[in-house]
Amino acid sequence: MKLPTIDEPTRYRGLYVVDFGDWTALGYTADEVAVLLESQAYQSGKVYKIVRAMPDGQMELRGVSAERFQFESGMLFNRASLEAAREDFAGLSQLGQSQGAPCRAFIHLADRGEAAQPARFVTALVYPAEYEDEMSNWLLEAGFEGGDMAEGGTSHVTNYYHEAETVLDKQQLWSQPAIPSRSPEDVLSSVRQAVQR
């Protein structure tokens, strides 16, 4: 795979490269990659996330499976007390409203039932799996510390859906991405451009 020469390579950190076989294009957002993978013509492209970009143009890439763009991931903040769980829910809601999340997400405050003691109550932050790095960094930078015990990942979200008996409260978070995604029509019409932005 040969990457095109770009100006200001460091601004591409966190974006994606797609190897289409006959050509390679870089500079896609996660939402744009999802558009490509849903398209019959481009669903076999190999996807790489730009983890690090050096000023000299060198890039560290991490392969991302196409299936990853179909999963949900999240972080679960478990509490024994409903009051503490409500504080976690309020803190995440406030953070999402004041700063905006890196991607669309939702928060649930749920009761798993008495059988789930000592972690009966959970505040679940759920988002598309391809945004795990961004969501983790967002919480770290904000200094959010929730839960008596915290766990995360796709399997924990799947388990949460089966275990949550009652959703007590919920909040939708909207993203304010640093780099907005283009429309599906724009993505598909510019697919042959080596540098997407």
Phi then psi for 138, rounded to 5 degrees?
A: -60, -45
Residue 118 lies in a domain: yes
Residue 2 lies in a domain: no
Task: Write out the residue range of the structural domain in which residue 19 sits.
Answer: 9-68+179-189
Q: Name the percent of the chain lying above pLDDT 90.
A: 67
pLDDT classification of 148: cutoffs 50, 70, 90: very high
Q: Which of 92, 151, 103 is nearest to 127 (CA)?
A: 103
Is the model's pLDDT at 113 over the cut of 90? no
Q: Alpha-carbon distance 20 to 40, whole Å?
A: 13
pLDDT classification of 143: cutoffs 50, 70, 90: very high
The pLDDT assigned to 2 comes to 83
Structural domains in the chain (count): 2
Query: What's the N-to-C CA distance of the chain in angstroms?
Result: 19
Average pLDDT on 144-162 reads 93
How deeply is 112 buried, as exposed, middle or buried, from its count of CB atoms within 10 A (0-12, 13-18, 19+)? middle
Sign (positive or negative) of CA dihedral 55, 56, 60, 65: positive
Query: What's the predicted TM-score (pTM) here?
Result: 0.79
Residue 141 lies in a domain: yes
Q: CATH number for the domain including 133? A: 3.30.70
Decide if 74 contacts 157 (C-beta within 8 A): yes
- 93 shares its domain with 165: yes
Element (DSSP H or E) covering residue 109: strand 105-111
The pLDDT tens digits of the residues spanning 14-69 come to 899 999 999 999 999 988 999 999 999 998 999 999 998 888 888 999 999 888 88
User: For all residues of the chain together, what is the average pLDDT?
Assistant: 91
170 is written with which tokens? 């919920």
- What are the residues facing 107 on neighbouring strands? 125, 171
Q: Which of 119, 112, 111, 123 is nearest to 171 (CA)?
A: 123
Strands across the sheet containing 59-64: 24-28, 16-19, 46-53, 59-64
Please tell me the number of Cα atoms within 13 Å of 190 on its side-chain side: 17
- 169 shares its domain with 183: no
The pLDDT assigned to 146 comes to 94
Radius of gyration, alpha carbons of the chain: 19
